[in-house]
Amino acid sequence: MNDKKKYKILIIDDEKSILDMFTTKFKNEGFEVFTEVNGLNGLTSATKHKPDIILLDIMMPGIDGFETLRSFRQNTSLDVIIVIFTNLGNKQEDIDKAFEMGANEYMLKASFTPEEVFQSVMKLIKEKNKS
């Protein structure tokens, strides 16, 4: 990363392989990385660490990604970019629901490499920093 700020990312996913792969990618790109395996822990972690961006899975034990997203958006102290990052599928109603609930992006895990996810994250951060 060229800019001086060390960005923080919170990855909330119950698949260890996904957490490991994206933790490695974002640490290699200079991010401070936090991970959680469910939405409830993710909410606590986000409040504590104040990440710049969250990668959020939908299908998780306990509260799912949609409920977690709703809770994030109701917490006015969190001004965070949220990317829904799922294998749930490309059903239009899920995509529409995610955006209506305040997601900044919707990505299918199976369709993107870690590099493509990183590039998308950086684009979202740059857009946010312009505003």
- Convert the pLDDT of each residue in 4-50 to its tens digit: 679 999 999 999 999 999 999 999 999 999 999 999 999 999 999 99
* Digit-coded pLDDT (tens) for 10-20: 999 999 999 99
Whole-angstrom distance, CA of residue 11 vs CA of residue 67: 16
- pTM metric for this prediction: 0.93
Q: Which domain holds residue 121?
A: 8-130
**Residue 1: inside a domain:** no
Domain assignment present for 80: yes
CATH number of the domain within which 107 lies: 3.40.50.2300
Number of folded domains that form the chain = 1
Are residues 129 and 122 in contact, defined by beta-carbon separation less than 8 angstroms? no
83 within domain boundaries: yes
Identify whether 79 is part of a domain. yes
93 is a domain residue: yes
Residue 15 lies in a domain: yes
On whether residue 88 sits in a domain, the answer given is yes
Q: Which pLDDT value is given to residue 117? A: 96
Q: What are phi and psi of 3, to 5 degrees?
A: -75, 160
